Amino acid sequence: MPQNGLSFVFLAVFLLVVVFVLQWVWRRPLSKDADPDTSDADESKVSSRPLMTPEEASLFNLIRLAAQDYFLVLVKLPILQVVSVADKDEEARRALMRTIQSVRLDVVLVHPGTLQTVTVVNFQKDEQERLQPGKRSHIVATVLKAAGITEVVLQLNQTYSVEHVTKLLGLAEDE
């Protein structure tokens, strides 16, 4: 019996030591290298960068002129701000989310009353991208179509007028 009591005491002391060690490891402060507040400000440079290229800005301004009377015009939104993905197969949903999570939509047209996305405008940078769309762009197009969102693709190297953009966005009034 005394040995049984002694082993119980050792077990209790051992468990207390393990708890205290784990608590110490989890609560210890970050090292100086990992703490962003202690970095040298002289070594870091932070500067702003353009939201879009001049070609994209020119096309965005045409889209804004064509659609601002009908929609809220937003730029460079992550696709997950626009769509919600639900699937019974959780692994398939995660795979899709990993594929599209880094995608940013160039221009998003949102209905001002319902705040639902109606149209997405994506810019195509070169001819090769148009001829051979990547797997990701195909998946994005499929996701947008499944969500009931119209996708319009405009070429950056092509010249458009406001009337032409209005027609492409489906906003032209029938006469």
For residue 11, name the pLDDT band (cuts at 50, 70, 90).
confident
99-136 residue pLDDT tens:
999 999 999 999 999 999 999 999 998 765 555 567 88
- Cα dist. 154→6, 147, 149 in Å? 79, 21, 16
Tell me the C-alpha distance between 25 and 55, whole Å.
52
67-79 residue pLDDT tens:
999 999 999 999 9
Match 């092509």 to its residue by tokens. Answer: 158
Instruction: Report CA dihedral (100, 103, 108, 110) to the nearest 10 degrees.
Output: 40
For 146, the token pair is: 């499944």
Tell me, yes or no, if the pTM score tops 0.75: no
pLDDT of residue 142 exceeding 90, the answer is yes
Instruction: Report CA dihedral (68, 126, 139, 120) to the nearest 10 degrees.
Output: 0
3-state secondary structure of 27: helix
Tell me the C-alpha distance between 52 and 58, whole Å.
10
Tell me the C-alpha distance between 137 and 122, whole Å.
10
Q: Provide the residue ranges of all domains of the chain, joining segments of one domain with +.
A: 2-38, 54-168
